[in-house]
């Protein structure tokens, strides 16, 4: 039997050049890819790193990315990169990831977003703070301090329940739209109380709903969401959002 993930792979590092050197998170991303490859039994045949572009540009602007993709096609190698979210925008990489999610792989090689570890994200955020401080210093200004302001109802709710950015994003995803995901699930359960999570996932896919990570639904993701929408913090969030939407509608 073939081993899980056995085969060749390439590693792509979304770098940042600062003061003539690669930012410290370069080694963090490389180590995270190596750890993932070791666990999933991939042989890394090449690493590629390049400065990320902030404009649409041409594909030739991502020379290393194109070279690694050619190796993937040639060796049926998996393409590994650390999923650092919106840090270091790469239009070509994002477009490729979207197309593969929609169409699936055709050549036999896999396109894998490796989950980041805490060390990598802390290094990236620390680098961003250093660059911002240096930019302010060069302009002869002190770093901009956040002015105190009155908290909105949502911000107060976040503070009370200790809801961070990632969890808030999940709440917003469930509430977003004309027919929000959580109401759609509640409607299904009201009509068929004993429906399994697997069947609910099937209905969500049928209506083209996606998870907060842009993936198709599974019985496990449905189970988690069903538990979440019953919590006090989510119920309170819905009430606050409904009040805000009602006020905006009145205006």
Query: Using one digit for the tens of pLDDT, what is the confidence trace for 8-33?
Result: 999 998 887 777 778 778 888 999 99
Residues of 96-121 as b/e, b for ≥16 C-beta within 10 angstroms?
bbeeeeeeeeeeebbbbebebbeebb
The string of pLDDT tens digits covering residues 112-142 is 889 888 888 888 888 778 777 776 666 665 5
How much is the pLDDT for 108?
A: 64
Place of tokens 């099937």: 202
**Rounded Cα–Cα distance for residues 198 and 208 (Å):** 15
Pick the residue with more confidence: 237 or 147?
237
Residues of 144-165 as b/e, b for ≥16 C-beta within 10 angstroms?
eeeeeeeeeebeebbeeeebee
How much is the pLDDT for 87?
A: 75
How much is the pLDDT for 247?
A: 54
Topology (CATH level 3) of domain 7-120: Rossmann fold (3.40.50)
**Rounded Cα–Cα distance for residues 204 and 206 (Å):** 5
**Rounded Cα–Cα distance for residues 201 and 216 (Å):** 8
- Asked if residue 29 lies in contact with residue 12, where contact means CB atoms within 8 angstroms, the answer is no
The string of pLDDT tens digits covering residues 73-122 is 888 899 899 888 777 777 677 777 666 665 555 556 788 889 888 888 88
What pTM did the predictor assign? 0.49
Those residues whose C-beta lies under 8 Å from the C-beta of residue 137, and which sit 6 or more positions away, are 143
The C-alpha R_g of the chain, in whole angstroms, comes to 22
How much is the pLDDT for 11?
A: 93
- Per domain, the residue ranges of the chain are 7-120, 153-246
The three-point CA angle 232-167-53 to 5° equals: 165
How much is the pLDDT for 195?
A: 92
- Asked if residue 163 lies in contact with residue 123, where contact means CB atoms within 8 angstroms, the answer is no
How much is the pLDDT for 205?
A: 85
């Amino acid at each position: 039997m073939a081993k899980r993930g056995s085969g060749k792979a390439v590693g792509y590092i979304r770098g940042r050049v600062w003061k003539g050197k690669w930012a410290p998170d370069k080694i963090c991303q490389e180590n995270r890819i190596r750890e993932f490859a070791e666990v999933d039994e991939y042989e890394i045949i090449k690493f590629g790193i390049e400065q990320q572009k902030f404009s649409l540009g041409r594909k030739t602007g991502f020379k290393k990315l194109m070279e690694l993709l050619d190796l993937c096609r040639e060796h049926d190698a998996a393409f590994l990169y650390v999923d650092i979210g919106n840090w270091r925008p790469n239009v070509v990489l994002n477009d490729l990831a979207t197309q593969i999610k929609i169409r699936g792989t055709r050549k036999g090689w896999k396109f894998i977003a490796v989950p980041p570890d805490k060390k990598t994200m802390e290094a990236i955020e620390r680098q961003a703070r250093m660059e911002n401080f240096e930019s302010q210093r060069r302009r002869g200004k002190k770093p901009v301090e956040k002015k105190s302001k009155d908290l909105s109802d949502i911000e107060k709710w976040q503070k009370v329940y200790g809801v961070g950015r990632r969890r808030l994003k999940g709440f917003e995803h469930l509430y977003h739209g004309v027919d929000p995901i959580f109401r759609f699930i509640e409607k299904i359960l009201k009509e068929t109380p004993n429906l399994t999570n697997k069947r609910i996932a099937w209905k969500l896919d049928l209506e083209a709903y996606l998870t907060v990570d842009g993936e198709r639904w599974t019985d496990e993701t449905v189970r988690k969401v069903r538990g979440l929408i019953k919590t006090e913090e989510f119920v309170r969030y819905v009430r606050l959002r409904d009040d805000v939407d009602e006020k905006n509608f009145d205006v």
